Chain A
Amino acid sequence: MRISTFFYCLKQGVKNICRNIWFSLASVATISACIFLFCLFFSIVANVQYMVHNVESTVGITVLFDESLTEDQIKGIGTEIASRPEIRSMKFVSAQEAWDSFKKQYFEGMEELADGFEQDNPLAGSSSYEIYLNDLSEQPQVVEYLQGIEGVRQVNYSNTAAAGLTSVNKMVGLLSLVIIGVLLAVSVFLINNTISVAAAFRKQESQIMRLIGATNFMIRAPFIVEGVMIGMAGAVIPLVAMFFLYTKSVVYLMDRFRILSNMFYFIPVKEIYPIMIVVALVLGVGIGFFGSFFTIRKYLRV
């Protein structure tokens, strides 16, 4: 394609937008609203998942072993457990470490009470492993596996925490899919309407083009340019708005709920924004391109 032809198509696309400026603005506004809601929802979902993941990483499984096992035998079993793909990290807690931690937790300020056990560790034989999983939904099968290992005395875990977090994750994912689907459908419908109006407006021109030997590409290109430009504008506006909204919201929430700052972990804007840019632009341009492509296909047959 010649550069002059490319610019011609571009110019005609811009002309289309200007001719139907109110329809175009309405489409940009609605696509903006849809993509804004999408970005908003995306950041909520991403942050909820981020927080859930953070909480998940603190929910662990504790494996206690038979008292008859030596520390070397326990570590041998540990190596075997560590080879499982579900395991994110493991920590060996010796009997002495367990007692030190217990003392710190329960005898703080009254250390003399614990002195009586100095020569006789009450938690002797309580060497254990603290295991953290990649995905908490895999906890039941891992627990079953651990319980089946010879030498394992007890496996402590929180079933409700795992089930709760997994279902929150699933619910948020499902809800996001439904909302994204609805928003996409609305956007495609709108772009379809705008391009239909533009096509009706330029019907005679398209007919003449067809009769003097313009290719399908040449007839459709201005409409596709129009769709893509509307889609792009519809993506850029919410992206700018989201940048400020997200930054301000995180600062506000962290400040306002400082007391809960251990629970609220927000994804930094530097990490989430590049993903948002790509997703919003792909969505905007995609809606514009496919919306106009299929609409114009219906209207202009050679």
Chain B
Amino acid sequence: MIEIQNVCKTYENGTRALRNVNIEIEDGEFVFIMGRSGSGKTTLFKLLMKEAELTSGKILVNDMDLQKMPRRYVPKYRRKLGVVFQDFRLLRDRNVFENVAFAQRVVGASTRSIRQSVPEMLKLVGLSSKYKSLPQQLSGGEQQRVAIARALINRPEVLLADEPTGNLDHENAIEIMKLLEQINRLGTTVVVITHSQEIVSKMGKRVIKLEKGQVVSDSRAEEQADS
């Protein structure tokens, strides 16, 4: 469970990126965090990744208080999260298999376990036949699938995706969203940061809207209020 309580973030230059943000995300949920550029989405993503420190408030991920987390524990914490970026961030000098294996390699997994789990993951994202291809030989949608496979290979509890469809055409974007939905059905909590109203409307999931660093609407809260 992710609990974001009264979180404020002000950068050193005085920019107030988040103002008193309160969000609760249950285990196994699929949530969109929506907003325009500068609404604070990426800051929230960075705070969840423990890439930036919050100014005030509290973030709890599975009862772990991120502010109190010692630096040496940060790598371990990040292994519980899978991350997907708009620009895929694949290693261009390594093929699909090596890109996915990379995530396991850097956390010290054995070669045996890598040989076993990478093909399974490539099968899940539908890229079994392209394991030898280099990223530049793949379409945008396929590259994003590799990135998703890499994010999932260490079996994270939460998948954080920052504008995962930002660089894709409509068709590929829908495919990626379907894949994320499938991953969510397997039990992983999925948090997608996006500005695409079209995608959000099509998926029919919980949507939290940010504007000028504040939560302006939360579809779940509205549903609860309606019922």
CB of B116 closer than 8 Å to a CB of A: no
Min CB distance B121 to A, Å, is: 14
Min CB distance A207 to B, Å, is: 8
Q: Report the nearest B residue to A202, measured CB to CB.
A: B91
Residue contact B78 to A2, C-beta cutoff 8 Å: no
Residue contact B75 to A215, C-beta cutoff 8 Å: yes
- Residue with the highest number of chain B CB atoms closer than 10 Å, among A2, A211, A218: A211
Task: Choose among B49, B75, B151 the residue that contacts A214 (Cβ–Cβ < 8 A).
Answer: B75
CB of A208 closer than 8 Å to a CB of B: yes
Min CB distance A89 to B, Å, is: 61
Alpha-carbon separation in the docked complex, A4 to B185 (Å)? 34
Min CB distance B45 to A, Å, is: 11
Scoring B residues 3 to 30 as 1 if CB is less than 8 Å from chain A, else 0, what string do you get?
Answer: 0000000000000000000000000000
Given the known interface contacts A8-B105, A218-B106, A218-B108, the answer about A212 and B91 at a Cβ–Cβ threshold of 8 Å is: no
Min CB distance B48 to A, Å, is: 11
CB of A1 closer than 8 Å to a CB of B: yes
Alpha-carbon separation in the docked complex, A205 to B102 (Å)? 10
Residue contact B154 to A213, C-beta cutoff 8 Å: yes
Given the known interface contacts A2-B110, A212-B154, A213-B79, the answer about A204 and B105 at a Cβ–Cβ threshold of 8 Å is: no
Residue contact A212 to B111, C-beta cutoff 8 Å: no
Task: Choose among B71, B78, B111 the residue that contacts A211 (Cβ–Cβ < 8 A).
Answer: B78
Residue contact A214 to B106, C-beta cutoff 8 Å: yes
CB of B74 closer than 8 Å to a CB of A: yes
Alpha-carbon separation in the docked complex, A204 to B85 (Å)? 13
Scoring B residues 89 to 116 as 1 if CB is less than 8 Å from chain A, else 0, what string do you get?
Answer: 1010000000000110111101100000
Scoring B residues 48 to 79 as 1 if CB is less than 8 Å from chain A, else 0, what string do you get?
Answer: 01010000000000000000000100111111
Residue contact B76 to A211, C-beta cutoff 8 Å: no
CB of B83 closer than 8 Å to a CB of A: yes
Residue contact B103 to A5, C-beta cutoff 8 Å: no
Residues of B whose CB lies within 8 Å of any CB of A are 49, 51, 71, 74-79, 81-83, 89, 91, 102-103, 105-108, 110-111, 150-151, 154
Q: 11 other contacts beyond A4-B111, A212-B82, with CB at 8 A cut-off?
A: A8-B105, A209-B106, A210-B78, A212-B79, A212-B83, A212-B150, A213-B77, A213-B107, A213-B154, A302-B74, A302-B75
Q: List 6 A-B contacts (CB under 8 A).
A: A208-B91, A209-B106, A213-B77, A213-B81, A214-B107, A216-B75
